[in-house]
Amino acid sequence: MIDPALPLYGDLADPTPKIRVRGLDFFYGDQQALFSNDIDIAPNRVTAVIGPSGCGKSTHLRVYNRIFELYRDQKAKGDVLLNGESIFAPTMKLLELRRRVGMIFQKPTPFPMSVFENVAYGIRLHYAVPKSELEGRVEEALKGAALWEEVRDLLHKPGTALSGGQQQRLCIARAIAVEPEVLLMDEPTSAIDPIATAKIEELVDVLKKNYTIVIVTHNMQQAARISDFTAFFFKGYIVEFGETRQIFTNPKNKKTEEYITGRFG
Amino acid sequence: MRRLREYLSEHFETTFRGFTVLCAAVVLIIMAAMFFNLAWNARLAIGQFGLGFLWRDMWDPALNEYGALSSIYGTVVSTVIAMTVAVPMSVVIALFLVELAHPTVSKVVGAAIELLAAIPSIIYGMWGLFVFAPLMAETVQPFLQETLGLENVPGIGRLFTGAPMGIGMLTSGIILAIMILPFISAVMRDVFAMVPAVVKESAYGMGSTTWEVTRKVTLRYGIQGVVGACFLGLGRAIGETMAVTFVIGNAHRISLSLYDPGNSIASTIANEFAEASDPLYLQALIYLGLVLLVMTFVIQMIAQWWVVRLKKSMGAGL
Amino acid sequence: MKKTQNVRRREVINHIVSVLSGLAALVGIFFLGWILWTVARQGLAALNLDFFTKLPAPPGSDSGGLANAIAGTVVITLLATVIGVPLGLFTGVYLSEFGRVSHFGRMVRFTTNITTGIPSIIVGLFVYTLLVVPFKHFSAYAGAVALAIIMLPVVARTTEDMLALVPNALRESALAIGMPRWRMILAILFRAARSGLLTGTLLAVARVSGETAPLIFTAMNSPYWMKSLAEPTANLTVTIFNYAMSPFDDWKRLAWGASLLIMATVLAVNILARYLLREKK
């Protein structure tokens, strides 16, 4: 039995979770994809979500910003609390939720506009920023995503003209420009080369000072390198959740052990 | 024997290829011949009026004096009305079909709109002349004039003065809009549907509303297709003959009021061709045709050039 | 933290646009329904046996039909198809198979795109200068050529698009077993793209069968049966144009009947074409 008052990640970190998930079920039409998921996401930490493909990692992540609601046949049951407030509560404004919970996708998705406009997009949406201040904010966000030095002379080139790794960092800059609290990353490095991947991993380490990060990855080395906590998903269940070190050195569950030792997945 | 067959098949290969090249060349020949033939058959009128034909506001078969200005004016005004109505409507219809409607509704409405696009323009003309124009005269135009009082609004008031006859610039503009609406919205729907889900998701993920995603991301992503769709509609509207001829009124004058009858290049040619017995009269009509050809040609060139430029400057994907 | 813009306002704008977009779609459907209903109601009143079997009668006699115009439209459209479809088809083959990147190919593609946008009335005038002025008479073949010119670029572009959808592996495997290119195109590609090509052709035929403007200057019109292809020929669309503008009620009635016939045919062919394409998918 889970005591809903106690954080699931034990006594190692801040006792108040940033995100608390309780009894989350998820359905694609009649097909159930998640089964009573419980998890607490620690603030200013990196939580990795691992598991074989089709296990529900991305599905789980896509509940946090309610992006799944774009699709008519997808339904979530249960509750997700952000800072103690349910994201499904009527008082929770969807647009504000998505500003507070940013998302980075598998493939870089620069919008069809210039590098500058890509970053300014969200700022213009959510803030009344005078033009003079906007440039500073864009620069700040690009610096935050460790991209400024590379693109300072390319600000007015289309976002799609950058390399894959740069595009992904542009998306990170775009996400942090609106001052979110949480960053969701759905296999952010699966479409880019190893060098660019290393840069993004470094960046994740820096970003956790200011943001709570949840990252879905199919790369176990990556999870071990960058995360503080790891959740192992299997067939829609959270089979094991704990400190990354513990999960990778001393898994309690047999399935987890089989997966991290590469016996399936 | 075997070698002969190989030789023949080799030979046929070249013949076949040459034949397709010939067919392709026909397209080029037709295009060139169109300009040449129209110009040659309008040579009397071109010699008589020169380029001044374009800005000459006079059309008098009795005096054998011709100028294209009122026709060009009517073509431009009716097209502008049509585009102003049809383009924004098409955007929101595409938005409805792709983002908002239930898939079944979207399929049915989409199919209906495609059918609307297939209806021949002469049908729009019949419907316009016998159904829509009387309705404009009895209900819509008096309503705009009196009930809404548009006639007395400073600035645009001039556009709504005059007797509500139902026949005229406004009616033909609206019928043109109804005609090109399905073309534009069908293409825009396809363009919207082709924008990858991840791109839309990441825009929604930033906290954008559906309309913001459409306006700022989807429209830009598909800008090539959107511009293409608009130019398709523009090309249709500018050269449309039957739907306009029936309801524009065929009067050779330039009037600010949209209630007044006017004429377009196409309607003048269609309407007066049968009566043009004098060679200069006939040639003036063909000269008008040449003007329309050049107009559409230039528009198409701009369209193609613009699409390439947009793609470069925005990194649009479609 | 800077002041956040009014979320409520953005939501309200979004809501308004959503409602407007539903309304706009409704308006589109409404006009379709209105036009269909008007033409069906007026047209059905005009359709009877006389309409299909008799020649036009002088105004007032109330017993005329448009048999000659029906025949004329069928003949002109068929002739246009026979001329336009092969030309368009092989232009499309050239664009897709031989001239994909060549300079000439690009020029042809560009011109084809532009030709698609040339108003049909201009095509009519052009054929008038090409086939009517020199021979000094209007004719069914001039009408057919005008319609064929309108079909050509449409068929060419659809053919190119449809052939482009055929995977390259199919071409390569056909060539790899030693099949010459022309046979590969005619036997393999055409078969693979069959339903798309048929749909494209049907849509092009449907489109030109409703054209009026190009026929005014080429086939013109006639109150008699056609005896040869080299004379003014009655057809439904120009008849509608002439009769609708006339002051006689029984002529207007015939115009409505002709409108219904044309509209029903065009829509039926369209539905058939779309059905064929869906069937394949």
Judge: A128–C7 Cβ closer than 8 Å, yes or no: no
Interchain contact C1–A (C-beta under 8 A): yes
Chain A residues within an 8 Å CB radius of C15? none
- Distance, in Å, from the CA atom of C99 to the CA atom of A258, rounded to the nearest integer, reads 56
Could you tell me if residue C281 is inside a domain?
no
**Does A7 have pLDDT greater than 80?**
no
Beta bridge partner(s), residue A39: A21
As a whole number of angstroms, the distance between CA C259 and CA B120 comes to 9
**A1 — pLDDT class (breaks 50, 70, 90):** very low
Q: What is the pLDDT of residue B14?
A: 84
Over residues A168-192, the mean pLDDT reads: 94
Cβ separation C4–A125 shorter than 8 A: no
pLDDT band at residue A65 under the 50/70/90 scheme: very high
Establish if B49 touches chain C: CB-CB under 8 angstroms: no
Interacting residues of C13 by C-beta distance below 8 A, sequence separation 6+: B209, B211
Same domain, C67 and C189: yes
A115-144 pLDDT, tens digit per residue, is 999 999 999 999 988 888 999 999 999 999
Chain B residues within 8 A of A97 when measuring between CB atoms: 207
What whole-number percentage of chain B has pLDDT above 90? 64
Contact A128 C11 (CB under 8 A): no
Task: Indicate the helix (H) or strand (E) that contains A229.
Answer: strand A229-234
Residues C10, A95: C-beta atoms closer than 8 Å = yes
ipTM of the complex, rounded to two decimals = 0.91
pLDDT given at position A130: 87
Q: Considering the domain boundaries, does residue A12 fall inside one? A: no
Distance (Å) from the C-alpha of residue A96 to the closest C-alpha of chain B?
6
Name which of B143, B142, B129 is nearest B171 in CA terms. B129
B187-238: per-residue pLDDT in tens?
Answer: 999 999 999 999 999 999 999 999 999 999 999 888 888 888 898 899 889 9
Task: Say how far apart CA C159 and CA C166 lie, in whole Å.
Answer: 11
The residue among C120, C24, C264, C28 whose CA lies nearest residue B178 is: C28
Q: Show residues of chain C in contact with B289, CB under 8 Å.
A: 121-122, 125
Q: How many CA atoms lie within 13 A of A213 on its CB side?
A: 29
Numbered residues of chain A with Cβ closer than 8 Å to any chain C Cβ: 93, 95-96, 125-129, 133, 179
Residue A9 maps to a domain: no
Residue B309: predicted pLDDT: 78
Residues C92 and C18 in one domain: no
CB contact under 8 A, B315 and A70: no
Three-state DSSP class for residue B158:
helix
To probe the interface with A, which of B204, B206, B212 has the most A CB atoms within 10 Å? B206
pLDDT of residue A103: 95
Residue A10 lies in a domain: no
Count of structural domains, chain C: 2
Residues of chain B scoring pLDDT < 70: 1, 8-10, 313-318
- Burial code (b: 16+ CB inside 10 Å, e: under 16) for C222-250 equals beeebeebebbbbbbbbbbbbbbeeeeeb
Question: CATH no. for residue C172?
Answer: 1.10.3720.10
CB B172 within 8 A of CB B78: yes
Higher pLDDT: C10 or B6? It is C10
Based on the fold, state whether residues C109 and C33 are members of the same structural domain: no
- Residue for token pair 């509609």: B233
Please tell me what DSSP assigns to residue A79: E
The confidence score (pLDDT) of residue C280 equals 58
> How many separate domains does chain A show?
1
Q: Indicate if C135 and C84 belong to the same structural domain.
A: yes
pLDDT at A8: 63
- Provide the CATH number for the domain around residue A34: 3.40.50.300
Residues C64 and C185 in one domain: yes
Tell me whether residues A112 and B316 touch, CB distance under 8 A: yes
- Please state, rounded to an integer, the average pLDDT across all residues of chain A: 91
pLDDT confidence of residue A245: 92
Quote the mean pLDDT of chain C.
Answer: 91
- pLDDT tens-digit profile of C21-45? 999 999 989 998 999 999 999 999 9
C186 and C62 inside one domain: yes
The alpha carbon of residue B205 is apart from the nearest alpha carbon of chain A, in Å, by 6
* Cβ neighbours of B288 in C, within 8 Å: none
Q: Is residue A62 part of a domain?
A: yes
Average pLDDT rounded to a whole number, residues A12-26: 83
Residue C143 CA from chain centroid, whole number: 14
Task: For residue C11, give the chain A residue with the closest CA.
Answer: A95
Q: Is the pLDDT of residue A265 over 70?
A: no
Provide the pLDDT for residue B308: 76
Residue A5, domain member (yes or no): no
Q: What is the pLDDT of residues B85-121, one digit of tens each?
A: 999 999 999 999 999 999 999 999 999 998 889 999 9
Q: Which residue in B has a C-alpha nearest to residue A107's C-alpha?
A: B198
> Residue C99 pLDDT more than 90?
no
Decide if A65 contacts A100 (C-beta within 8 A): no
Interface test with C, best of A70, A94, A95 (most C CBs within 10 A): A95
Do C42 and C154 fall within a single domain?
A: no
Do C56 and C188 lie in one domain? The reply is: yes
Helix (H, G, I), strand (E, B) or coil at A15: coil
- State the Cα–Cα distance between residues A80 and A83, nearest whole angstrom: 10
CATH class of the domain defined by B71-317 = mainly alpha
CB contact under 8 A, B202 and A171: yes
Residue ranges making up the domain that contains C211: 51-276
Under an 8 A CB cutoff, do A111 and B203 touch?
yes
* Most C-contacting residue of A100, A123, A127, A181 (CB-CB within 10 A), to test interface: A127
**Sign of the torsion formed by the C-alpha atoms of B237, B242, B246 and B248:** positive
Q: Dump the DSSP string for C182-230.
A: HHIIIIIIHHHTHHHHHHHHHHHHHHHHT--HHHHTTT---SS---STT
Inter-chain touch B206–A102, beta carbons under 8 Å = yes
Q: Which two tokens stand for residue C210?
A: 């409703």
Q: What is the pLDDT of residues C183-195, one digit of tens each?
A: 889 888 999 898 8
Q: For C104-160, how does the pLDDT look when each residue is reduced to its tens digit (9 = 90+)?
A: 999 999 999 889 889 999 999 999 999 999 999 999 999 999 999 999 999 999 999
Same structural domain, C254 and C186: yes
- Specify the DSSP element, H or E, that contains A74: strand A74-82
Task: Judge if C63 and C33 occupy the same domain.
Answer: no
DSSP annotation of A218 reads S
Give the amino acid at B278: D
- Residues C28 and C108 occupy one common structural domain: no
The answer to whether residues A210 and A143 touch, using CB atoms and an 8 Å cutoff, is no
Distance from CA of A245 to the nearest CA of B (A): 31
In a domain, C76, yes or no: yes
Could you give the CA distance from residue A102 to residue B202 in angstroms, rounded to a whole number?
A: 9
**Burial per residue of A158-183, b for 16 or more beta-carbon CB atoms within 10 angstroms, e otherwise:** bbbebeebbbbbbbbbbbbbbbbbbb
Range of the domain at A45: 19-260
Band (pLDDT 50/70/90 cuts) for residue A10 is low
Do C144 and C23 belong to one domain? no
Which chain B residue has its CA at the smallest distance from C86's CA?
B23
Q: What is the pLDDT of residue C1?
A: 47
Q: What phi and psi values does residue B42 have, to the nearest 5 degrees? A: -110, 15
